[in-house]
Structure 1
Amino acid sequence: MRQPDRNIDPETLISQWKNGLRILHIANHRCASRYQARHQAIGISSVTLSVIVGTSIFATVSQAPIFWISIATGSISVANALLAALQTHLRYPERSEKHLQAAHQYGSLRRHLEEKSSAAKTPSKLVEVLAEIGPKWNEIDHSAPPIPQRVNNKVVREVKQA
């Protein structure tokens, strides 16, 4: 459960939380884009293989089937079925949507934290802001999909450099 650390200066903690929310916001957007691109790549590959199989079958209808063309067409057809199964099993559109929702929630929470913390004039008010934001952040964390470590590490490096 995310709660303000009483041993850290509230301004420092707010700065750390802003960075954390920024990282989560960006990383979830990256994951959403990544999964959408993968879905499209598999879909385009599947359609392309279907066209190749269909064209090969029609090209050989008027002739006696050539052995290697029959083998190639069968192999491509199996690869196409595998891609279709992967596309269904990996659920990239669903995963993309979940990351997009999480990105919007983290972004909204970060903006809310920025607004509230800029209006807070005393350390006690900053602690109140942290106490308000913490449970909301925990709620989002609970429903957000996991971010691959490689994506997270890359975003952390980018945010630190900025």
Structure 2
Amino acid sequence: MRRARESQMSRYAMANPFGRRNRGRGVSVIAMTSLIGTTAFLSMIATGVSPLVRIVIGLVSVLASVMASLHTFLRYAERTEQHRAAGARYGAIRRRLEAIYARTPDTRAAQDFVEIREELDRLAQEVPNVPTAVFIKTQRDLSANERIGSE
């Protein structure tokens, strides 16, 4: 149950920064492309645009293209959803284990544990990895919460 809970919380911990990155990069791309579009339009209308302004417009245009490409390539929205879904699946497994342990020992079937182990094995193969640092932080946070709850 502890491992399922740690995996569940680690997945949720990974989903949050990916969601923030997705929104941050998306907003940046929108702002830059809007700025470039407007500036390029105005520079066509204006006469005597300085070379420095044209260089800045060119650099921001390149930066906007790179940001849009990274936003697409890094797939933060998709990765966020994968981690959230994995967290929910680990949560469901944890709740099943809690229900099994809530029963009296003589009513617990070995088959229940075999099925859960197989489901955990499948899940471990299907979901994206969580960096070790995030997993260790989750373990520390959960241990601290358990100590606080038992006081």
**TM-score between the two structures when normalised by the length of structure 1:** 0.81
Query: Residue 47 of structure 2 aligns to a residue in which SS?
Result: coil
Amino acid of the structure 1 residue aligned with 2:134: V
1:128 positional shift: 5.1
Compute the RMSD of aligned alpha carbons.
1.8
Amino acid of the structure 1 residue aligned with 2:9: I
What corresponds to 1:65 in structure 2?
A: 49
1:127 positional shift: 5.1
**TM-score between the two structures when normalised by the length of structure 2:** 0.86
Separation (CA, whole Å) in 2 of partners of 1:93 and 1:29: 14
Aligned length: 144
Among residues 81, 84, 91, which one is paired with 2:65 in the alignment?
Answer: 81
Unmatched 5+ stretches in structure 2: 146-151
Check conservation: 1:117, 1:126, Cα contact below 8 A: no
What corresponds to 1:34 in structure 2?
A: 17
Unmatched 5+ stretches in structure 1: 1-17
Amino acid of the structure 1 residue aligned with 2:13: R
1:44 matched to 2:4? The reply is no
- Greater per-residue helix proportion: 2
1:116 matched to 2:97? The reply is no
1:135 matched to 2:122? The reply is no
Separation (CA, whole Å) in 2 of partners of 1:132 and 1:77: 54
Counting only pairs closer than 5 Å after superposition, residues 99-114 of structure 1 correspond to structure 2 as: 99-114=83-98
